[in-house]
Amino acid sequence: MSSETTDDCLAERETLLRELGTLSLLLQGSLFERYTVCSRPGCKCHSGERHGPRHYLVISENGQQRQKYVPKAFVEVAKEGLSQHSRLREIVDRITHLNLAFMHEEHDYADQ
Ligand SMILES: [Zn+2]
């Protein structure tokens, strides 16, 4: 199993699994800002000063893209949630690598 010892890999997997449990703000999607024009006659938004930004998260729901409004007070929380999702993917990739290495090791023993 290359230069990694099984004990180190098991310990690393434990650490990663514990870290997964801390990703409580998780969000999958992408955040965007929208500036809008309203229907009030004479509103400043009609002369270029649009309302906003309002923030939305684009998510996938049953294979459909949906835009969900994110209240201003939660924009930073949403950003943290998206960054936790990147970390989630890194952890899943790493655990995949470790678990495959465990399989190969088992297989090598079984072949002896
Ligand atoms: Zn307006």
Whether the CB-CB separation of 51 and 41 falls below 8 Å is answered with no
Supply the pTM of this predicted model. 0.80
71 within 8 A of 13, measured Cβ to Cβ: no
Whole-number pLDDT of residue 1:
44
| Nearest of 66, 59, 64 to residue 82 by alpha carbon | 59
Q: What is the pLDDT of residue 70?
A: 98
Distance 41 CA to ligand 1 centre (A): 8
- How far is ligand 1, taken at its centre, from the CA of residue 39, in Å? 6
Share of the chain above pLDDT 90, in %: 83
Sign of torsion over alpha carbons 104, 106, 95, 7:
negative
From the CA of 54, how far away is ligand 1's center (Å)? Answer: 13
The reply to whether omega before 71 is within 30° of 0 (cis) is: no
pLDDT tens for each residue of 32-91 = 999 999 999 999 999 999 999 999 999 999 999 999 999 999 999 999 999 999 999 999
